[in-house]
Amino acid sequence: QVQLQEAGPGVVKPSETLSLTCNVSGVPIYSYYWNWIRQPPGKGLEWIGNMFFGGSTKYNPSLESRVTIFGDTSKNQVSLNLTSVTAADTAVYYCAKSLSGSLESWGQGTRVTVSS
């Protein structure tokens, strides 16, 4: 049974870097694609990007200049860094596992507020 647990700072100051982690249990991260998706308050879903460990990463062009997704097999953990944040980056951030495109399993999400 795969479980995903996101963790983050809760509040980030404008212009700083947002760093989130997704702790994965039940499957090794090197076997699947790992995605980050976000949902601003009261709004819909936006795909941020994904990675396949030891392979490619794909990012949404709208965020590509600011985002990095990477993994740590020793911790079985996937991470997201988003630089130069603004209020528009305030959202619930989800990690999700995929293999053949579909987001099969999701974490419970972590809420991030950008505020000074």
What's the min distance (Å) between Cβ of 17 and other proteins?
22
What's the min distance (Å) between Cβ of 116 and other proteins?
29
What's the min distance (Å) between Cβ of 23 and other proteins?
15
Instruction: Output b/e per residue, 28-67; b: 16+ Cβ within 10 A.
Output: ebeebbbbbbbeeeeeeeebbbbbbbeeebebeeebeebb
How many angstroms separate the CA atoms of 66 and 54, rounded?
A: 21
Residue partners of 71: CB distance under 8 A and separation at least 6: 29, 30, 34, 51, 53, 77, 78, 79
Q: 17 or 108: whose CB is closer to other proteins?
A: 108
Q: 48 or 85: whose CB is closer to other proteins?
A: 48
What residues line the site for other proteins (CB under 8 A)?
A: 44-47, 49, 58-62, 94, 98, 100-104, 106-109
Q: 10 or 44: whose CB is closer to other proteins?
A: 44
Q: 1 or 115: whose CB is closer to other proteins?
A: 1
